[in-house]
Amino acid sequence: MLEALDNEPPVDFSTLDPVEERAASEIRLRDLAGSPEPVAAIEERSFCSDGAEIPARIYRPAGAVNTVMFIHGGGWVVGSLDTHDGSCRMLANRTGQNVVSIGYRKAPEHRFPAGVRDCEAGLDWLLRDGGSLGLDTSRLVISGESAGGNLAAVLAIHARDRGISLAGQALISPVIRTDMASGSYRQFNSGYFLAAAAMAWFIRHYADPSDLAHPDIVPLRARTLNGLPPAFLATVDHDPLRDEGRAYAAALVSAGVETTFVEITGAVHGIWVMSGVTSASRELIERTAAWIRERQQ
């Protein structure tokens, strides 16, 4: 896969159009996912956030009771319920629990904090209407990948501050910082699927410069990390975001948060949606699912 990427023409991020890239990413990411697994039942739903209708998709394995809320990645700009459909199917089947995949409005049409507001509205929707949807949210775990991991981490902090009890937070290769100053950014600047230039493009479209240190973008800057729900945090070793994920796991441990840290070796950012090209994707989803099962017992 990386060799194929090396043979593609370089991307000019100064002229790259977000809408065109969003459409291209839909095809590219779905191709990486391979053939989707069957799930007993899948439902399309929606909820309201700031007057907008936000899509959600419920994956229901046979006999599922508990619920996982999942937030997809894509740098806050690309990605959708469809790009992460395959991994959500796998997560539902391997946890044996309902997985509710949450859409959110994308930048730059809807810049920060629109995504945060949409995910919080999604959490409120599940807690309010879960019973009528046949979803038990008493042991709710929130999960997210990449930019979705960032939103999930922020959502866990908000939930704590609002007195909402969560069974856990599962953060997969999360975006934790916006300064792009870590050693892994220098080490894996380009050639490993997610380039530093791409992250700069995502960040620029997501938030104004004055917001880039806001705790709702940089969870390390939260007032405190004490009292957060137990965390599963996974990184991969060939990823510009690796070091900030490690740093957040260490910060959670220092704050007394029960934390399980996993690093997948020989892999690049985005393997969560690459089950069609690498067994590391299946390993990561299986390890995440095993932790979620333990949290929901």
Q: Between helices 114-129 and 147-161, what is the axis angle to 10°?
A: 60
How many domains in the chain?
Answer: 1
- What local confidence, expressed as pLDDT, does residue 4 receive? 67
pLDDT in tens, 127-174: 999 999 999 999 999 999 999 999 999 999 999 999 999 999 999 999
| Catalytic, out of 101, 143, 146, 275 | 146
Check if 146 is active-site.
Answer: yes
Here the CATH number for the domain that contains residue 44 is 3.40.50.1820
Check if 179 is active-site.
Answer: no
Distance between first and last Cα of the chain: 38
Give me the half-sphere count of Cα atoms (radius 13 Å) on the Cβ side of residue 46: 8
Check if 239 is active-site.
Answer: yes
Confidence of residue 14 (pLDDT cuts 50, 70, 90): confident
- Cα–Cα distances in angstroms (integers) from residue 263 to residues 1, 67, 152, 190, 288, in the given order: 21, 25, 19, 20, 12
3-state secondary structure of 254: helix
Its pTM stands at 0.96
- What local confidence, expressed as pLDDT, does residue 297 receive? 85
Scan for tokens 């393997």, then name that residue.
271
Pairwise CA distance, residues 85 & 87, whole Å: 6
What values do phi and psi take at 44, rounded to 5? -95, 130
Domain range holding 240?
2-295
| Catalytic, out of 85, 118, 216, 239 | 239
pLDDT in tens, 39-88: 999 999 999 999 999 999 999 999 999 999 999 999 999 999 999 999 99
Q: Which of 25-29, 210-214, 227-231 has the lowest mean pLDDT?
A: 25-29
Alpha helices in the chain (DSSP H): 2-6, 18-33, 85-95, 114-129, 147-161, 183-187, 196-206, 242-254, 279-295
pLDDT in tens, 102-128: 999 999 999 999 999 999 999 999 999
| Catalytic, out of 80, 269, 275, 281 | 269
